[in-house]
Amino acid sequence: MMHRRPAWVVASALVIAAVLALSGCAQVDEPTNRPITAVPSGAAVTLPVDDRWSVSFPAGAAGPTGGELMTSPAPPPQVPGLEVLASARLTLSTGQPTAPLTFTYRFDAPLPANQVVYLLDDDGDGDAFTADPAAGPTMTPTRLRLAELSPDRMTAIVTGVDHLSWKSWVSDRLDDLTAEIGRLAGLRFDPPECQAPRPRWLTANFVEGPNAPMLVCVGADPADADIGVVKITNNRGTGLVVTSPVRPSWAYETITGTAAESWAPDLLTVVLGRLAIDADARDRTYLLAPGQSVHIGFAQDRFDGQPIPARIVGTVSPDAAAWGILMRLLERELGTSSTAAVMLALLAGCVQAAVPEDADVASTLRAVAGLATCALEHPELVIDVLSRTVSATAMDRAINGLLSARKLLTRYAAIGELTFLTVDLATTFAFSRDALTVNLFIANARQRAPRPLTPQASEPEPAVETSGSLSIAADWVSPTTLRVNLTTEGPGSPGERCAVVLDGTERWSGPCPMPGGSIPPTVSADGSQGHSLQATATGNGSSISSRTVTVPAFGT
């Protein structure tokens, strides 16, 4: 939920010069200076701004005695991705209107089906979007208002405008916007590399492959072979929150580049609180932007008293997902350090009550719009966080970055209102919980009993067969997915490598669970019928044990 405050103008002393010069804008219609136009007090009136657009005043909107409207030319906004149709400055002799106004823009031909129209509306003079960077413009609240189109798509209408100042009609192409969001969300990255082999006490199980949402390697600290190291890279264009099961011996994040800046820990602590991370987990939770990594070092005794497997868990909430998408967008234009400070401050200042839920397309787009809208309408919230967390030197750079960021984020402020879905973005969220889990098996750890897998109430009780040191269980998590639980019982290991075989075809293989531990792989299956499920354990290239269960059809 976004925090709302009354409009507020940032003192110009806070705003350090430099807005990145962004080239390219369409030819626009600029109104000529008009004589002062009367706005009567007792009747509604529609007044032209130029030949294409007009503003409608309800009766009494100019005050009890009426007023006068002046329109004058204004430079167009320099907003990447948006085509400018017209710009003007409008003033009313009696101050601001006492009732909401309606703005109308008319086209010569129907607007193409893949285009949308907005009214970009600034409480000031628009300098933050139009002025020369040397002018040091102040950041005033700005809104991107989605226009309603007439059935023939010849007229765009925006209602409820309660402020007269700099206004600009702009247009965006839905296919361009869809492609851009898809490119940002659908990115893939290189896996991490571990320099030393893992210590003998540590075994891990995780989803592998170039399309896995978390790219993982497990090794040892090159400076201490007894320290196990798990490296995780975010392999999506969204943000990713990674939580360790225990407080590690050490951890390293790449969010601010190769050398973390002094302000990062304080700002990250505030952000994790905004993302609904429990206070006792914040010192073992890490926020990863797209392509960024966390390296986590563990001593073996860190897992004493923990259930095995111990699980490193990734989560993608709507706010974290949106943050990652916009982080990548800004990083591409502004560089890593300035972007990290601005985007972390945006999360800390604008997200007041994050919902701890898994992201999907609709919730992510709403969160993207919420963050972009907050940057436009409430820059003071971002500046307040920056002023309390970063150094004076970093503050100068961050304010400059915020000036540029607001322009880059403009076209995303209304994206939550657009009725379209991007296939690439939908695919980004099409992975199971197991794909966001690293299972850690600790040899000889003093541990509690392993956490059981609990089937859903609507599912059948798991089919289980136990014999000797290997146990296999299976239950349906959906009509097309079986969750398998391989468990080692007794003091010995069932083998070096285990596999899951469905109806005679191997569907999964990996390290066997440690004694007392378990592994929860998932396999695809047809829930309309029953299946034969087999678990095998091998060692030194030969079969050691095999267990088979029969799984009934889903829901039976």
> Confidence class of residue 312 from pLDDT cuts 50, 70 and 90?
very high
From residue 97, how far is each of 85, 91, 168, 177, 265 by CA, in Å?
25, 10, 18, 34, 46
Dist. CA 222–CA 204, nearest whole Å? 19
Question: What count of other Cβ atoms lies within 10 Å of the Cβ of residue 474?
Answer: 27
Distance CA 532, CA 551 (A): 6
Q: What tokens appear for 56 in the block?
A: 């409608």
Q: With bands split at pLDDT 50, 70 and 90, how would you rate the model's confidence at 295?
A: very high
Look over the chain and give the mean of its residue pLDDT values, rounded to a whole number: 76
- Asked if residues 228 and 284 have their Cβ atoms less than 8 Å apart, the reply is no
Cα separation, 317 vs 323, whole angstroms: 10
Query: Which token pair is 427?
Result: 């695919």
Give, in order, the Cα–Cα distances in Å from 299 to each of 201, 246, 252, 442. 10, 11, 15, 11
**What is the pLDDT, as a whole number, of residue 539?**
65
Tell me the pLDDT band of 226, cut-offs 50, 70 and 90.
Answer: very high
Residue with the two structure tokens 């907050």 = 374
Q: Are 227 and 204 in contact (CB under 8 A)?
A: no
- Helix, strand, or coil (residue 107): coil
CA 417 to each of CA 133, 158, 264, 295, 320: distance values in angstroms, whole numbers, following the listed order: 32, 14, 33, 38, 20
Per-residue pLDDT, averaged over 143-153, amounts to 91
Indicate the helix (H) or strand (E) that contains 146: strand 142-146
**Burial of 528 per CB tally in 10 Å (0-12, 13-18, 19+):** exposed
Instruction: Tell me the C-alpha distance between 545 and 552, whole Å.
Output: 23
Average pLDDT over residues 328-333: 80
pLDDT (0 to 100) of residue 4: 33
Q: pLDDT confidence of 28, banded at 50, 70, 90? A: very low
Radius of gyration of the chain, Cα coordinates, nearest whole angstrom: 29
Quote the percentage of the chain above a pLDDT of 90. Answer: 22
Q: Which residues pair with 36 in a beta bridge?
A: none
∠ Cα 149 153 157 (to 5°): 30
Amino acid, res. 123 = D
Map tokens 């106004």 to a residue: 101
Integer Cα distance of 345 and 385 in angstroms? 6
Q: Omega into 309 within 30° of 0, i.e. cis?
A: yes
Amino acid in the structure at residue 63: G
Task: Answer whether 0.75 is exceeded by the pTM.
Answer: no
Is a pLDDT exceeding 60 seen at residue 132?
A: no
Of 29, 28, 35, the closest CA to residue 71 belongs to 35
Q: Which residues fall within 8 angstroms of residue 419, CB to CB, at 6 or more apart?
A: none
Average pLDDT on 142-161 reads 92
Tokens at 134, concatenated = 């040397």
